């Protein structure tokens, strides 16, 4: 049993959009907090001043909210362990690194970037791991004073104990050991007084009473450094859980090459937030049994770190599309129509303010198309069939069908009768087909396909009677006239 209150955090660096991997880390933390009745904290790690932007922070936080991962404590919402932006915590950090300096667990380093690079290069040439060999470790006070008088601004380096094995007891990966000798004294405060990630993260996680650090595998190699800092400062250590990388289908690290990598891009295409969350939850976590579609509360119920795998997760876009289409199917057509409207307006097909009648029409059209949608943006191409008075192009299969001996007559008779039909309803349309079938002695494909081809130029599409209904009398008339004319001229 857990003996501390569960407190987890998502700590994005605002240097770009929220990526799939970051969102997955946030989700595992969020699920773990919800499952254990704990707290989910969001902290912004903006010590990389050059690359951090407020815009990126806003985008990340907005995406988290959109995905439905509300946080209990952190930026925007506040809490008793704030501030939650590292750039606002600089004085807090200095208390701790000054203590390390006093206790001789850290020291100022005056080496220039050129000197450091030369050292790394020489180690590399000898086939050794490039690292800092401790040139400034044993400088005397006078030597330091002299360098400072020359105007040199030092960094602060953590003094790594020699000859130690540093074990990381990882909840996902088990025990992973690191040799301290391979690490080299590392910088904890840059020469501008801003702490590095490895230092700030420890102070923050400790002061914010984080019980479990759940993050991407790329941070595993940082963990021994952080563990040394925890020990040096006498802080309680959290549990660590490093979740595996996300790979593309070719098994290389997921990148732009594999498709969209940011949550924004999926959002723009019209993926539903809960479908994305459901999909992300399966990247590295395996629920019991075969089931894959889970509501949010079911995910919370089912989630456990025990079932998080240490082998890499593979991002499969087809699976995401399938998952999203499952969620789209479950929604009411009114909801999907509302989500689709901005795309249709953007494509110039509809106006933003629909009349009640137009809205009813759209909802009916959507209920015909909904089953086929993988993401909402696709509605723009699927709905084209309902717009336009002419046929842009006939598919080869449609042309083939139109050349059947009975086809022109079927289309002609259908046009005559449908235009006279007073009840613009599915049963009446069905009755017309039935009558023509009897009259001309055709049935099945030969009866329905010519009309479909004549109306749309294709043999595929939504349910025919409903399509006719929603096209409306005028469009049906114009399109069939157009096709009959084309037929006469052999297309």
The residues carrying an active-site annotation are: 256
Query: In this chain, which stretch among 8-16, 284-292, 307-315, 336-344 interacts with ligand GLU, using CB under 6 A?
Result: 8-16
Q: Which of residues 173-202 bind ligand GLU (CB under 6 A)?
A: 201
* Dihedral of the alpha carbons of 319, 325, 329, 331, in degrees to the nearest 10: 110
Spatial contact of 207 and 197, defined as CB atoms under 8 Å apart: no
Question: Which residue, among 400, 407, 490, has the nearest Cα to 451 in the 3D structure?
Answer: 407
Q: Which two tokens stand for residue 168?
A: 């990381």
Window 201-220: residues binding ligand GLU (CB under 6 A): 201, 215, 219
User: Are the CB atoms for 396 and 460 separated by under 8 Å?
Assistant: no
| CA 403, chain centre distance (Å) | 49
Q: Is residue 483 a contact residue for ligand GLU (CB under 6 A)?
A: no
Rounded to a whole number of angstroms, the minimum distance from the CB of residue 467 to ligand GLU is 49
Q: How far is the CB of 295 from ligand GLU (least distance, A)?
A: 27
- Select from 5-13, 91-99, 261-269, 413-421 the region that touches ligand GLU (CB under 6 A): 5-13
One DSSP character per residue, 104-133 reads TSEEEE---HHHHHHHHHHHHHTT------
Kindly list the distances between the CA atom of residue 431 and the CA atoms of 2, 425, 479, in Å, as whole numbers in the listed order. Answer: 69, 10, 21
DSSP-derived letter for residue 42 is: E
Nearer to ligand GLU, 84 or 343 (CB): 84
Among 6, 7, 12, 81, binds ligand GLU (CB under 6 A): 12
- Contact between 11 and ligand GLU by CB under 6 A: the answer reads yes
**Residue 63 near ligand GLU by CB under 6 A:** no
- Total binding residues toward ligand GLU, as defined by CB under 6 A: 7
Task: Tell me: does residue 13 bind ligand GLU (CB under 6 A).
Answer: yes
Q: What is the DSSP secondary structure assignment for residue 78, as one 8-state letter?
A: B
467 binds ligand GLU (CB under 6 A): no
| Closer residue to ligand GLU in complex, CB, 25/324 | 25
Which of 39, 45, 63, 377 is close enough to bind ligand GLU by CB under 6 A?
A: 45
Shortest reach from residue 17's CB to ligand GLU, in Å: 12
The verdict on 23 binding ligand GLU (CB under 6 A) reads no
Among 268, 357, 35, smallest CA distance to 260 is for 268
Q: Which is nearer to ligand GLU, 11 or 282 (CB)?
A: 11
Across the chain, how many H-helices and E-strands are there?
20, 12
Cβ at position 51, least distance to ligand GLU in Å? 11
β-sheet with 7-10: strand ranges across: 73-74, 39-42, 7-10, 212-216, 239-243, 165-170, 174-179
Write out the residues near ligand GLU by the rule CB under 6 A: 11-13, 45, 201, 215, 219
């Amino acid at each position: 049993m857990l003996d501390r209150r569960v407190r987890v955090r998502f700590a994005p660096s605002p240097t770009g959009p929220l990526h799939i991997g970051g969102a997955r880390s946030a989700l595992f933390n969020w699920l773990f907090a919800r499952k254990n009745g704990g707290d989910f904290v969001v902290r912004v790690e903006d010590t990389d001043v050059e690359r951090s932007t407020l815009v990126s922070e806003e985008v990340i936080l907005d995406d988290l909210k959109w995905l439905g991962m509300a946080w209990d404590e952190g930026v925007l919402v506040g809490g008793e362990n704030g501030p939650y932006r590292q750039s606002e915590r600089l004085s807090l950090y200095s208390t701790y690194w000054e203590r390390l300096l006093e206790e001789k667990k850290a020291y100022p380093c005056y080496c220039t970037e050129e000197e450091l690079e030369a050292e790394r290069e020489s180690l590399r040439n000898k086939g050794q791991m490039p690292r800092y060999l401790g040139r400034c470790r044993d400088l005397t006070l006078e030597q330091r004073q002299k360098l400072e008088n020359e105007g040199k601004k030092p960094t602060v380096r953590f003094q790594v104990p020699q000859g130690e094995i540093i074990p990381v007891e990882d909840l996902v990966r088990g025990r992973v050991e690191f040799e301290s000798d391979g690490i080299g004294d590392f910088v904890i405060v840059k020469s501008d007084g801003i702490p590095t990630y490895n230092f700030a993260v420890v102070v923050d996680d400790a002061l914010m009473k984080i019980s479990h650090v759940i993050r991407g595998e790329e941070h595993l190699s940082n963990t021994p450094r952080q563990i040394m800092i925890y020990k040096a400062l006498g802080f309680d250590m959290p549990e660590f859980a490093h979740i595996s990388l996300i790979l593309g289908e070719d098994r290389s690290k997921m990148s732009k090459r594999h498709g969209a990598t940011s949550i924004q891009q999926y959002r723009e295409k019209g993926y539903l937030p809960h479908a994305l969350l459901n999909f992300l939850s399966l990247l590295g976590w395996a629920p019991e049994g075969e089931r894959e579609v889970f509501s949010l509360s079911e995910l919370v119920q089912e989630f456990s770190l025990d079932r998080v795998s240490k082998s890499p997760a593979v991002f499969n876009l087809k699976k995401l599309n399938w998952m999203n289409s499952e969620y789209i199917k479950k929604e009411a057509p009114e909801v999907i129509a509302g989500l689709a409207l901005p795309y249709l307006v953007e494509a110039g097909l509809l106006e933003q303010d629909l009349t009640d009648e137009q809205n009813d029409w759209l909802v009916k059209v959507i209920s015909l198309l909904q089953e086929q949608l993988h993401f909402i943006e696709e509605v723009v191409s699927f709905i084209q069939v309902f717009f336009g008075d002419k046929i842009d192009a006939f598919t080869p299969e449609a042309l083939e069908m139109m050349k059947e001996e009975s086809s022109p007559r079927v289309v002609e008779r259908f046009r005559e009768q449908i235009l006279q039909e007073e009840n613009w309803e599915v049963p009446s349309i069905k009755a017309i087909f039935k009558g023509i079938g009897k009259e001309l002695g055709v049935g099945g494909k030969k009866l329905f396909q010519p009309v479909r081809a004549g109306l749309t130029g294709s043999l595929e599409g939504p349910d025919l009677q409903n399509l006719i209904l929603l096209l409306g009398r005028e469009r049906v008339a114009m399109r069939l006239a157009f096709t009959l004319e084309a037929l006469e001229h052999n297309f």
